[in-house]
Amino acid sequence: MHLAGAGGAIVLPARQDLIQGLTDCLFGWPATLSPTLPPPEQTLAVVAAEQGGTFRLGARALDRPLSGLSTTAAVCALIADLALGFCESLPGGMGLHCGAVRLGQGPLLLLAGPRRAGKSTLIARLAREETAQIFCDDVLPITAQGDALALGLAPRIRLPAAPALGHVTPLLADDRYAYLRPRNPAPHGTRARPKVLVALDRRPGSGAPRLHHLPPDAAIRLILQQTLTLADTPAAALAQAEALLHGMTCVTLRYDALEPATALLGAAFGGTTALPPDLLPPLPSAALASGANLPPDLPLQRHPEVHLRHFGQSLFLWHPDTPMLWHLNPLAQAIWALLETDHTTNSLVGLLCEAFPHIPPDQIATDVAAFLGTAHDSGLLTSPCR
């Protein structure tokens, strides 16, 4: 199967459930089927049928194949490869890990935040609104000119779904995930200029939802954290983020319940203005931070279901339970390599101080603790003691 702009073909077995499941999740993305196998260098992924009705998937971006996949899980992995392949092939563009939606006549909103901030659930709830045009729930390509492009992919929700989502017949589902049909999906190739960045800060017990100013430095940091296809240099990545944010309204949405948050977004951004008049002062920077403080002597190891993905010169970690990718900088790559065997924070700091003698030990200790805490919270690491 060849999909326009994806940067490579996917090879599928002659299984109608898989082919139909994938095509049902595409909205306007031109796809063609061919009986001729493409050469390996032009192949994004290869899926094979296994005994028992499951699938095995190998991809050029994966460090090892995935096996025992349901139809839904195989489609999930293929969609991840197609979305990132498209972003990587976009000349001068970038890919963002975010949701994107346009409410009524309002501007295009980018919804971003840490894991468990509720992005997918919020997009799924907005997908029920006829006036909400869904651009994406996970990966958004941005052109070199700063326009957002809809890939035309169905949003995915973890099961069991939140009660506020109501009863929705999924396009495709297994016991873990379901792909939903939005009432108003943006077809593949739909363009819009992002005008509002919404940093999601879901806090149980925080009361009524409210919007706060998001300072420029926090907005740039968030965009850099959510960027999936990196520029050649840090300076180029920063310039790319600054260009994207130029003229944008940046807010934090502090919320608890789904329905009031949906109503607040509609009231604030469903019209022609891009700046609500009643924004609250910025939240403390710690409010958007994530990552637990782990005991320095706690043994840690890689989660067995986490895979290493390669995109160009960049390395990412990917857990099948979430479509999100975590980018690894050089220090994080060294930590991940060492975690092939069990290590504690203390033992990692000692080894990395030897490997990076030009970096102050206090900085290494701080960076190692931050990475391990966030990776553990995100399900990338586990402890054999727990």
Which domains, from first to last, does the chain contain? 2-89 (no CATH), 94-288 (no CATH), 301-382 (3.90.930)
Higher per-residue pLDDT: 258 or 281:
258
Phi-psi bin for 52: left (phi > 0), alpha (psi -120 to 50), beta?
left
Q: Is residue 386's pLDDT more than 60? A: no
Q: Is the pLDDT score of 76 beyond 60? A: yes
* pLDDT at residue 24, as a whole number: 95
pLDDT band at 264 (very low <50, low <70, confident <90, very high): very high
Axis-axis angle for helices 330-338, 361-377 (nearest 10): 70
Alpha-carbon distances of 206 from 14, 263, 266, rounded to whole Å = 51, 16, 20
Query: What is the structure's pLDDT at 169?
Result: 79
- Local structure of residue 162 (DSSP, 8 states): P
pLDDT higher than 80, residue 361: yes
Q: Which of 303, 96, 257, 108 is nearest to 186 (CA)?
A: 108
Do 381 and 372 touch, CB atoms closer than 8 A? yes
Q: What's the mean pLDDT in 340-344?
A: 92
* Mean pLDDT for all residues in the chain: 87
- pLDDT score for 333: 85
What pLDDT does 145 receive? 92
pLDDT of residue 127: 92
Give residue 378's pLDDT.
80
Residue 385 pLDDT:
65
More confident site: 287 or 229: 229
**Average pLDDT score over residue span 125-129:** 92
What is the rounded distance in angstroms from the CA atom of residue 83 to the CA atom of residue 90? 11
The CB-side HSE value for 230 (13 A sphere, CA atoms) comes to: 18
pLDDT tens-digit readout, 78-97: 999 999 899 989 998 899 99
